[in-house]
Chain A
Amino acid sequence: MSDPITQAGTPAPRPGDDKPRPGMSERSIGLLGDRKKARLDELARAGVDQGGVSLVRDAVRRLRRNPVAIVGAVIVGLFVLMAIFAPLIAPHDAVQRFDELTKNLTVDTIPGASGDFPLGSDPLGRDFLSRMIYGARQTLFVGVLATLIGLALGVLIGAIAGAFGGWVDVVLMRLTDVMLALPSLLLAITLVAMASRSSQWTVIFAVAIVSVPIFARLLRGSMLAQRESDHVLAARALGVKERNIVLRHMLPNSLTAVIVQATLTFAVAILDAAALSFLGLGDPDINRAEWGLMLGVDGQRYFEVRPELAYYPALAIIVVALGFTLLGEAMREAIDPKNRR
């Protein structure tokens, strides 16, 4: 069993673990006391890094044995590959209208599978299979950007609140409280409604903002817990600058939980984007192939005519959301100190 603490001699506190274990603190303080102040910063960082690596390595080891994590990772991997290599996989262009398809389009028929077009046509005579494959790309784009924007803003707010504490913390957390008091989709709807016309960016932004308070709270909680922890106390006692304590000691140790949350947020982001499209607040670009858009607009409008237009994007969204959720849950379990055995 690899013990993450022994590796560098400095304690590697784990997110969510605010109670230092007995025996660990004396040893680390004694060790730290022997070092020179000038070297402490570097050492502590190295300690954090190595502790981080071993923490990650430890988690990865447990993840590799967990079938849930493997299933999740495989789904996510395939999804990303499909997104990257979409132009190579897709048999046709995603926006080209084919004459052999359009000539069969009527008010209540949309041609199904035929020789060249395994999934048939979409309502505008475009190859549905190619749109599904290109859809992975746009879906990944929307999900990743929404998650990253939410993460960046949330981390910023959470880090400021957690680093300063006091009234800054109170004000910022009140702000997140106000955001959390609104139902998430309602907040997203309001945000989109506030833009004069919706675009892909309003959707991404709205979905991102919804996740900001979650990231902020998570990071802040973890950082506040560390303020009182031994390695921060040791660094402070040795006169490390406050800024360095926050940036080099507290923040890196708090990020694991946030990254895991980001995996789960991705699933929510693509579901919310689909919901916005369904409500008519999505991206108005008819050429854009994105699963949420395909399900929310065409899938809904032509459900009676050709339900496959809803089934395939829905299935794709469910599988991908499931993949990210499985992976995220497994990761959360893996980094949870309770499961460290």
Chain B
Amino acid sequence: MSFPTYNTDKSTELFARATKVIPSGVYGHLGPAEGQFIPVNKWPRFSEKAEGSYFWDVDGNKYIDYMCAYGPNVLGYCDPDVDAAAIAQIKLGNCTTSPSKIMIDCAELLVDTVNCADWAFFAKNGNDVTQAAIMTARAHTHRKKIIFFNGFYHGVSPMVQKIDYPGVLPEDVANAIYVNWDDIDGLKQAIEENKGEIAGLIAQPYNHGNFNDNSISSKEFWQQVRKLCDDNGIILIIDDVRAGFRLDLAGSDHYFGFKADLICFCKALANGYNMSALCGQEFLKSTVSGLSYTGSYWMSAVPFAACIATINKLKALDAPKLFLEKGTALTQGLVKAGKEHGFDLIASGAPALFYLRIANDNSLLLHQDWVAECVNRGVFFTSHHNHFINASLSDEDINRTIEIAEEAFKVVAKNHPEIF
């Protein structure tokens, strides 16, 4: 079977229009620069509509979407149950002077669902809650320093960016300590060198950074981290913004067999409705109460309704098991297809958030070519970011993806006779 290649002229035209009034046209991770669309013209830049596992771009091309809006699409775009709950709530009110009581329902559901949660504090974006978590750790311990594991991404506030990023001052990151993943000795040394000064340790549940194969940390590693934090009065913060609810509905700390002090959620909370949540243990509740930290839309009711519908549906579907099965079937199929055409495709990380890399060369050029050929035939991958499985992904979608990937392998092999 042959798959037609897509034309993205309308996207290009709209992008040119966008650049006149919007910095970079599409800035941030959804944009072609940070999103690393290589080459740019193989990727759509604007969507027209979305449903289930698909979105259609402004040129009318249909994509099986493995980025899921970089995570929020966890049940499928326009999920009827979630949208119905949101629409019912919008008729009652959304952004109101006194918050809707549905906020309490949502917090109770999170407390019932998430293993380490005794309370929930709501905001809008992942960055809102990672920053809140760091502030909570500092307020509670009256200490300054925060430990990060190299390869981290915890949002965009200056305190979690790096010293060489535009607009970040050395003072903003003066209290950051960087340690390598899975390096317990390095962590012990950092704690020893900063004895009594470390407020918190913030980490994703495993190393799912960009550009490198993702590596799952062991339960033993996390047990040791937990103990070191306990022994040294360090608040252990899990940034579950990306992996949250895809590995374990009780939180990724639960998946790895430990209990975080604070845990940050966002992407998969409400199937695309905008909200985030910081959850934590009882002993930190009064500290969070004292933070001067709020936002205009943080208590809007519609996302709470969507969140409740999303979590209940994820539970009914036993979604993490589903994600594991679908992600495993997909990645095994892709790896096998690659092998048949001489490509060493490596799938790493959790299957629910698989990361792909062609390892035949060390430049990633083959990988970029292959991803571009997949996208240009209707499978939306990105070059160097982990991908996401959503619950609406069907076996038929997986099979079609593998077929397209196979054709893309053939095209890349043909374009590189010096290698294949």
Whether A and B are associated in the same complex: the answer reads no
